Amino acid sequence: MTILEAALEVFSKRGFRGATLDLIANEANLSKPNLLYYFASKEALHAELLAGLMEKWLKPLAQIEPNGEPIAEICAYIERKLELAQKYPRESRLFANEIIQEAPRGQGALNGQLKELVNEKVNLINRWIAEGKIAPVDPLHLIFSIWATTQHYSDFDTQIEAIMDEGYDDRFETAKTFLHDMFTKALTL
């Protein structure tokens, strides 16, 4: 297991405060001095993980095509977000932990590239509304709702598993169908 994989495992389970270099080194099957040869601190490891995560998390939003059919573009974004939740649950929990702790190490990315991209997509959604292509909605709350409904499937997977008597293995497929229908209804004129 690589150092970053080990760090992701520890940070996603314990958060920044609960993670230690000893735990990360142990998870990576390294000594602490070996770990420190590659990364100078716990903060450096966390920053590296957050930087990679932001790139991965922003890509699906950036892929919304301004000239595409609006509802199809938004539903495709929802599918991409669900796919991230399914493939990268540890990364989602890492990000959720950072946000819950008021983003002490991720504030720059939130106020920078994330905010810029969200503002760009808010303007696009407002344009689609003005052109009569989708129902009037609050673009920011639409994006927040997409984040909340898709990331829930990784951040709260333990809760979902405990509640779903049947269909747990198909949860992402059934969620995709449900969310597609819900957002399509909300956006259709």
Q: What is the pLDDT of residues 79-125, one digit of tens each?
A: 999 999 999 999 999 988 888 888 888 777 788 889 999 999 999 99
CATH number, domain of 176, equals: 1.10.357.10
- Residue 142 CA, distance from chain mean position: 15
What is the average pLDDT value for the chain, to the nearest integer? 94
Residue 107 confidence (pLDDT): 79
Region for 29 from its dihedrals, namely left if φ exceeds 0, alpha if ψ lies in -120 to 50, beta otherwise: left
Whether residues 2 and 64 share a domain: the answer is no
Q: What domain range is 21 assigned to? A: 1-40
Number of domains in the chain: 2
Whether residues 146 and 80 share a domain: the answer is yes
Whether residues 142 and 163 share a domain: the answer is yes
Question: For the chain, how big is the Rg over CA atoms in Å?
Answer: 19
pTM as predicted: 0.91
Give a yes or no: residue 71 inside a domain.
yes
| Nearest alpha carbon to residue 10 among 21, 24, 26, 30 | 24
Q: What is the pLDDT of residues 119-169, one digit of tens each?
A: 999 999 999 999 999 999 999 999 999 999 999 999 999 999 999 989 999
Whether residues 57 and 150 share a domain: the answer is yes
Give a yes or no: residue 171 inside a domain.
yes
Whether residues 89 and 170 share a domain: the answer is yes
